[in-house]
Amino acid sequence: MSIEFQQLGRVEYLPTYEAMQDFTAARTAETPDELWICEHTPVYTQGLAGKKEHIFNPGDIPVVPTNRGGQVTYHGPGQVVAYPLLDLKRAGYFIKEYVYRIEEAVIRTLLHFGVTGHRVAGAPGIYVRLDDPASHALLAQRPMKKTETTDPGGVDVPAARAAPDFTGLGKIAALGLKVSRNCTYHGVALNVAMDLEPYTRINPCGYAGLQTVDLSTIGVCVGWDEAAELLGHKLSRYLAP
């Protein structure tokens, strides 16, 4: 079953969030999957793990609590927001692979514009090298299979994961997801050509000092419509069963 596209244009966040909840609550096993593409008027959204101290100067930008995973992020004009409304049971894969597929769609979108997107272990989303956004050099902290260590008692235990190090990196796409009855909502936001100042008023995704970038600040001039169409097609391809 193919994904039906809905191009929403520029919309307020809260009514869109409520519409996603209503769609998910009402869907049945026969309901077609949908992919909503939009941009939002300025808003901070706080995930279930969100802490108030990560929003230290909201000013006149509203803060909306949500039931997605993760911490705080910002949405605003010049950002492509994609909400896949999928039945994962019907698609035949689980949440971990779902996250991977969304990230891969973003990476492939960036590659079209000559930018290399990177994953960082323990920090969902897509990042770019600030000194060379086209560099294919692998990050030392990319996701890898966990290694095992042996404690003095001879018992194998999982190796500890170091906290993410964002030195030299900028975050260009953020994920925040929710799964209810095997069905997904919320999604991914790709920064295209934004006013990035609102990010300086928060700890993006709960990380103090994490720099947020968009395509325009790393030298890629592309319109919102073109980026939205491309990301939509990549998501439709990589989220297919």
* Residues with catalytic roles: 205
Closest CA to 59 of 44, 49, 40: 44
Q: Are the C-beta atoms of residues 119 and 141 closer than 8 Å to each other? A: no
Q: Are the C-beta atoms of residues 184 and 178 closer than 8 Å to each other? A: yes
Q: What secondary structure, in 3-state letters, does 219-233 show?
A: CCCCCHHHHHHHHHH
Q: At 148, which amino acid appears?
A: E
Q: Which residue is it, tokens 């003095």?
A: 152
CA distances from 20 to 42, 52, 57, 59 (A): 19, 25, 28, 27
